């Protein structure tokens, strides 16, 4: 949800302020009462991309276990990682969600990954993608490839209305040890 004002023929987002104890403070949310019920009409969203290393070192030739490391930006505003075959996704932590609060119109945002080094097993790079769907990047190493490491470093950027708001670097490594 955004509030806009027209300046010089261009619509721009505004952030409302309120004076509290002689100090101007930005608002995080605005509510209006409709039919006896309070409804949220505006949210000042915080966009963050913390960057992180996601490493799976559990691969084994002897045990026929592959290594798999992933990062996923969810349409609900959270960031998740996947470390290890069969482990499933887990939220990194609430502080690293890409938009706070999570209900701050994630569909209005886009994400782009740029491969800085290495090779991805899966995931789109070099293209802006709407965050109306979950977006995932993955590095894997199959146990049949033998002992070794596959890795990739990606720059993740988030934008809204064509303006990049935040970026961070994610390093994904998948290692078969034994």
pLDDT in tens, 16-56: 667 888 887 766 667 788 899 887 666 666 777 788 888 88
Q: In this prediction, what percent of the chain has a pLDDT beyond 90? A: 30
Q: Are 111 and 131 in contact (CB under 8 A)?
A: yes
Residue 36, SS3? coil
* For the chain, domain boundaries: 4-43, 46-176
Question: What's the pLDDT score for residue 1?
Answer: 45
- Report the top-level CATH class of 46-176: mainly beta
Q: Are 113 and 125 in contact (CB under 8 A)?
A: yes
What integer best gives the mean pLDDT of the chain?
A: 82
Q: In this prediction, what percent of the chain has a pLDDT beyond 70? A: 77
Q: What is the rounded average pLDDT of the residues 77-100?
A: 70
What would you report as the CA-atom Rg of the chain, rounded to the nearest whole angstrom? 20
- Express each pLDDT in 138-173 by its tens digit: 999 999 999 999 999 999 998 887 888 888 899 999
Instruction: Judge if the upstream peptide bond of residue 143 is cis by omega within 30 degrees of 0.
Output: no
């Amino acid at each position: 949800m955004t509030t806009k004002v027209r300046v010089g023929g261009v619509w721009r987002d505004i952030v409302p302020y309120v004076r509290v104890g002689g100090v101007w403070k930005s608002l995080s949310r605005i509510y209006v009462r409709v039919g006896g019920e309070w409804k949220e009409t505006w949210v000042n969203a915080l966009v963050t991309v913390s960057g992180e290393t996601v490493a799976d070192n559990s691969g084994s030739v002897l045990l026929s276990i592959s290594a798999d490391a992933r990062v996923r930006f969810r349409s609900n505003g959270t960031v998740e990682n996947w470390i290890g075959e069969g482990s499933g996704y887990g939220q990194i932590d609430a502080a690293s969600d890409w938009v706070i609060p999570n209900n701050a119109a994630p569909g209005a945002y886009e994400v782009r990954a740029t491969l800085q080094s290495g090779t991805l097993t899966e995931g789109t790079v070099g293209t802006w993608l709407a965050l109306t769907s979950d977006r995932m990047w993955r590095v894997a190493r199959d146990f049949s490839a033998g002992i070794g490491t596959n890795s990739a470093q990606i720059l993740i950027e988030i934008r809204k209305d064509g303006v990049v708001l935040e970026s961070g670097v994610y390093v994904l490594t998948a290692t078969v040890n034994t």
